Structure 1
Amino acid sequence: MVGILLMTHAPLGQAFIAAVAHVFRGPTERFEAIDVTADQDTNEIHALAKSAIQRLDEGDGVLVITDIKGGTPSNCCNTLAEAGRVEVIAGISLPMLLRAITYRRDTLDVVVEMALTGAQNGAVRVDNRIRVGT
């Protein structure tokens, strides 16, 4: 099973963990979050991420999901990316995360693709305005 690590600006990661627990009616195994606070030392963040990845990887790899490409959480884990073992994607959303968790018994590459598809398909305009002429 692919491990999942959220690297986000505080308190976003813990909020996503709570949302996932709500949707799946309980905690999810091999799923952690590191909430980065303002002015937190980047070496400390990197060390926390490295330790979490080692803890979460039981041989199937780890997907690291961050909130904003180029932000401190993303930048601190980019050097930990290792094709086939640790993949990093940015732009977390709940549809992305739920899709990743749903498919995490597959290979890491499939989990990445499913997460990205969940993000793309999850962003839609909700329009219930009355249309004239329909």
Structure 2
Amino acid sequence: MVGILLMTHAPLGQAFIAACAHVFRGPTERFEAIDVLADQDLAEVQKLASAAICRLDDGSGVLVITDVKGGTPSNCCNKLADAGRVEVIAGISLPMLLRAITYRRDTLDVVVEMALAGAQSGAVRVDNRIRVGE
């Protein structure tokens, strides 16, 4: 099963873990978050991420999801990316994450594509205004 690591600005990662526990009615296995603090040492963050990837990888690979491309958490992840073993995507959303968790028994490439599709289809305009003629 593909492991999932969230690398986000604090406190987003833990909030996403709590939201997933709510949706799936309990904790999700092989799923962790590292919430990066504003003044946290980057070398320390990198070590934490590397250790988490080792814990999460059962041989199926790890998907690392970060919040903002170019931010500190994302920049730390980029150095850990290893095609086919550790894939990194940015722009976390709950639809993205739920889709990744749902498909994580598939290959890492499929999990990445499903997560990205979840993010794209999950961002929609909700419009409840009354339209003329209705």
Structure 1's consecutive aligned runs of 4 or more residues displaced over 6 angstroms after TM superposition are: none
The residue type equivalent to 1:68 in the other structure is V
Alignment of 1:87-126 (within 5 A): 87-126=87-126
Distance, in Å, in 2 between the alignment partners of 1:39 and 1:79 is 19
CA-based RMSD of the aligned residues comes to 0.4
The residue type equivalent to 2:45 in the other structure is I
**1:79 corresponding residue in structure 2:** 79
Number of equivalenced pairs = 134
Aligned: 1:54 with 2:72: no
Task: Report the TM-score, using the length of structure 1 for normalisation.
Answer: 0.99
Q: Secondary structure at the match of 1:35?
A: strand
The residue type equivalent to 1:5 in the other structure is L
By how many angstroms is 1:77 displaced? Answer: 1.1
Q: Secondary structure at the match of 2:113?
A: helix
Uncovered stretches (5+) of structure 2, i.e. residues with no partner: none
Distance, in Å, in 2 between the alignment partners of 1:7 and 1:83 is 18
Task: Report the TM-score, using the length of structure 2 for normalisation.
Answer: 0.99
Aligned: 1:133 with 2:133: yes
**1:6 corresponding residue in structure 2:** 6
Q: Secondary structure at the match of 1:33?
A: strand
Distance, in Å, in 1 between the alignment partners of 2:79 and 2:110 is 22
Q: Could you tell me the percent identity over the aligned residues?
A: 87
Q: Secondary structure at the match of 2:39?
A: coil
By how many angstroms is 1:85 displaced? Answer: 0.3
By how many angstroms is 1:133 displaced? Answer: 1.8
The residue type equivalent to 1:111 in the other structure is V
Q: Deviations over 1:39-75 (max 9, x none)?
A: 1000000000000000000000000000000000000
**1:40 corresponding residue in structure 2:** 40
Distance, in Å, in 2 between the alignment partners of 1:12 and 1:128 is 29
